Amino acid sequence: MCTPLFVGSSRLARYCLQARLPHYCFLASRIHSSVINSKVRRTEKIKKQSSSVLHSALVASEKNALVQGALKEMKEMEAVLCDELVKHFSLQVDLRIYEDLLVKLEKGGESKMSHLGRVSLKSPRMVMINFVDNPSAIKWAKLAIQKSHLNVTPQQEGAVLYIPVPRMTRERREQLAHDAKVKIFSDYKKALNDIYVRFDKSNQSSVKQDEMHQTRQVLLDVKHAMESRGMELIEKKRNELLTEVV
């Protein structure tokens, strides 16, 4: 006599679960949508804040040469970031990535790869750098490539470096996106900070303390606003890369 009761209880429990399942799905859907909408609203808020800060800086720069100079250099750095992102996220092999790569030399100086060797495309997925005119630089060039965010492995044959470029798989895209968010953005932030520090040092010679503190705050706000804009650019390119069909 116990069996029918057990079966009946199981059926009742199953019925209750089935009856409530659409409600749970509806709640889950609403929660998921709420999270997405929250992220969108937060992103839009950051964009508006950045635009507002930069607008205020433009107004302030009309009477402040330091803010004007810093803003000009930071915008130039933003243009460099845009160019770097185009090269970094390109689905095709862009030789400029290798040509513009900075190589630290034995004596402490730096030079672009294109000044040390001839960069060319041997095949659609093979970059070749010929150091026949500058063989002593090949060691440092190879090291620079290995330490870069390119995630490639150069192979040396005599005075030539061969660099196999991986196919653009999903994993490769995700790695590029991660590297952009970490390495490229880190370099961009450092460049902005260097500009801020340099102009803030000039600002410290200001006679009036109030003006000095006000200028410092504007410079700091501009730096943070440009950082936010940089991250927006990276996120936009990242999303394009992860959704684009090869």
Contact yes or no for 163/41 (Cβ under 8 A): no
Say yes or no to pLDDT of 188 above 70.
yes
More confident call, 20 vs 238: 238
Say yes or no to pLDDT of 11 above 60.
no
Say yes or no to pLDDT of 3 above 70.
no
Enter the DSSP assignment of 159.
T
Could you tell me what percent of the chain has a pLDDT over 70?
72
Q: How much is the mean pLDDT over the chain?
A: 78
Region 186-194: mean pLDDT is 93
Q: What span, in angstroms and rounded, lies between the C-alpha atoms of 73 and 70?
A: 5
Number of other residues whose CB lies within 10 A of the CB of residue 156: 14
Q: What is the pLDDT of residue 111?
A: 93
pTM given for the model: 0.59
Region 26-39: mean pLDDT is 49
Instruction: Give 203-206's long-range contacts (Cβ < 8 A, gap of 24+).
Output: 203/66
Q: What span, in angstroms and rounded, lies between the C-alpha atoms of 244 and 92?
A: 13
Region 106-125: mean pLDDT is 91
Say yes or no to pLDDT of 156 above 80.
yes
Say yes or no to pLDDT of 14 above 80.
no
Q: What is the pLDDT of residue 84?
A: 82
Domains (range + CATH), the chain: 45-90+169-243 (1.10.132.20), 95-164 (3.30.1360.40)
Q: What is the pLDDT of residue 103?
A: 94
Say yes or no to pLDDT of 44 above 70.
no
Lowest mean pLDDT among 22-36, 43-57, 120-134, 221-235: 22-36
